[in-house]
Structure 1
Amino acid sequence: MTDNFLEPQSLGVPCPRCQRDLQLKKGRYGLFVGCSGYPECDYMTAADFDPGTDVSCPSCQQGKLVQKTSRFGHSFYACDGYPACKFSVPLPPVAESCPTCNYPLLLRKRTTAGERLVCGNSECDYKSEIR
């Protein structure tokens, strides 16, 4: 049994370096776009399926929070202004302010009982009702 998703898939877009076809590939840290002419051409870029959220960074107020993957395969959300801003959270952000402390960011937490919103401020213990 073969899994076609793991095999390189042609995107029909030419490589900006060598004009060969770009392919969607699966690597050690997830999906990426690479040249079909590898190893002669080593062009590579990220596969931006979820380029980010509409949530502003509460630390620098200039960047947006984008989903990233750690080297261990775990997802997290970090400011796109890295390395100037090193803000990150482990849960999906929601652009709502906390009703208790007015922190401009809530996090969506999924549990076995359901889903709830928790405050992004580590000093606040706000938790919404389970949905």
Structure 2
Amino acid sequence: MTTDTHFEPQPLGVPCPRCQKELQLKKGRYGLFVGCSGYPNCDYMTAADFDPGTDVHCPVCEDGKLVQKTSRFGNSFYACDQYPLCKFSVNLPPVAQSCPDCGFALLLKKRTAAGERLVCASESCSYKSSIQ
């Protein structure tokens, strides 16, 4: 039994956000991903199920936007699209509101058995909104 593991990169017609060369659909050891055609000069890559973003700006670098990604264990998280320049990430869905207590530029939507509430993304703040 022979399995063909060769996969030719497919052009996507979308420019790379870092170097403006074309992005390609490629196959790696963990499955399909989107990578820059300018590799190894540009090492930009993202998941194949790329979500253009959440329209929530990164509160740390303020240049990038938070995009949903999937870890190698299958868990969703939200990270700055300027990685590796900015390594900000959170495990809960972001909301573009500032914290009323500390002023941090990002709140997170947390679901509990009692309902849904907003919590501050800053580790030093303990703000929690009332259950909605």
> Is this a same-fold pair by TM over 0.5?
yes
Identical-pair percentage: 69
Q: Does 1:47 align with 2:54?
A: no
Give me the whole-angstrom Cα distance separating, in 2, the residues matched to 1:83 and 1:73. Answer: 21
Aligned match of 2:86: 85
- TM-score (ref. length: structure 2): 0.65
Moved over 3 A (4+): none
The within-5 A match list for 1:1-131 is: 15-16=10-11, 46-48=48-50, 50-131=51-132
What are the ranges of 5 or more consecutive residues in structure 1 without an aligned counterpart?
1-14, 18-27, 34-44
CA 101–65 in structure 1, closer or farther in 2 if over 3 Å, else same:
same
Q: Deviations over 1:71-123 (max 9, x none)?
A: 00000000000001000001000000000000000000000100000000011
Shift of 1:52: 1.1
- TM-score (ref. length: structure 1): 0.66
Structure 2 counterpart of 1:90, which letter?
N
Aligned CA-pair RMSD: 2.5
Size of the aligned set, in residue pairs, is 96
Shift of 1:68: 0.4
